[in-house]
Chains A and B, each alone.
Chain A
Amino acid sequence: MRPELERLQHIEEQLLRGPAAQPAAEWQLQLLLDPELQADAEAQQQLYAGLRAAGRRQLRSELAGIHTRLYGPPPEAWPHRVASWLRGAFGRN
């Protein structure tokens, strides 16, 4: 892997407590000695928070799809379906 990717992996191990995570004291020392590491770690933490929000959005959309498959579209959708059918039947836009 490129060094930039290795750095992302190194920070990830620490933030997500992976098997290669360093002891907390060692990591704190590294952060003190390398201000860029501190900034990079904060940035990566923000990415994870954003990915969590994106994942929730996707899961909500999957659940809405399951609801529709089990119980049909929401009731307020039917006038639109009728309107669309009428437009098709009478050839109007």
Chain B
Amino acid sequence: MSAFSLSDPAALRLALLANREQVLTELYAHAFPLVRQHVGRHGGSAHDAQDVFQDALLLLYERAVGGTLVLTASASTYLVGIARNLWHHEQRRRARLPHETLPDHLEPLAPEPVETEVAVLDYVARMGEKCKRILLDFYYFQQPLAQITASHGYGSVRSATVQKFKCLERLRQAVRAAFGAETLTA
């Protein structure tokens, strides 16, 4: 069954965990043209359509893998609905602003990261590929350790676990060194 026609959150979650790129591509190819058409008909640009659609897809991903997604129709229909709401919200926001302060881009879905988050972001970007992958795959993409063990080539779940905590410790030390003890205390 194609990802876009899935209406069972558990099946969508498993599909996203097993093959994120393929599933996101299927959803993208199926739902984005509808969102582009809607945004275009309601005063938005192609760039606006891309922004709201990607925000909607990010939201869908986080809810699906986090186990909080509730679907009453297909994933694709849900995605189009969320993107439409985001665009209407953005239109209202722009209408409230004077013309000279109209932003070039949409208001970000998530609040701006606080200072320590920026420090973590910067350090993660500079981390070795191995640590970066294991930390993001586990903490953000929510892949189970058994899957990480297989896809990253660790000998056992135990060694993947140890490696994950070594990387977390490295991240913590780096952020502490950058920030001093008052922010990341210990």
Interface residue ranges, A against B (CB under 8 Å)? 1, 4-5, 8-9, 12, 36, 39-40, 42-44, 46-60, 62-64, 66-67, 69-71, 74-75
CB-CB under 8 A for A50 and B172, given A62-B24, A63-B54: no
Number of A-B residue pairs with CB-CB distance less than 8 Å in the complex they form = 118
CB distance from B123 to the nearest CB of A (A): 8
| Contact A50–B124 (Cβ < 8 Å) | yes
Which of B28, B135, B139 contacts A67 (CB under 8 A)?
Answer: B28
CB-CB under 8 A for A46 and B140, given A8-B168, A51-B135: no
Q: State how many residues of chain B have any CB contact under 8 Å with chain A.
A: 44
The binding surface of chain A is classed by DSSP as helix
Chain A to chain B: the 8 pairs with minimum beta-carbon distance, closest first: A50-B120, A55-B140, A39-B185, A54-B124, A5-B165, A43-B184, A50-B117, A51-B139
CB-defined contacts of A44 to chain B, threshold 8 Å: 168, 172
Chain B stretch 36-69: residues in CB contact (< 8 A) with chain A: 46-47, 50, 54, 57-58, 61
Known: A39-B185, A54-B125, A70-B29. 15 other contacts (CB 8 A): A39-B186, A42-B185, A43-B172, A43-B186, A44-B168, A50-B116, A51-B124, A51-B140, A54-B121, A55-B136, A58-B136, A60-B58, A62-B24, A63-B54, A66-B25
Interface residue ranges, B against A (CB under 8 Å)? 20-21, 24-25, 28-29, 32, 46-47, 50, 54, 57-58, 61, 110, 113-114, 116-121, 124-125, 135-136, 139-141, 161-162, 165-166, 168-169, 171-172, 175-176, 183-186
CB-defined contacts of B171 to chain A, threshold 8 Å: 47, 51
| Contact B121–A57 (Cβ < 8 Å) | yes
CB distance from B172 to the nearest CB of A (A): 6
Which of A5, A36, A42, A52 contacts B169 (CB under 8 A)?
Answer: A5
CB distance from A42 to the nearest CB of B (A): 7
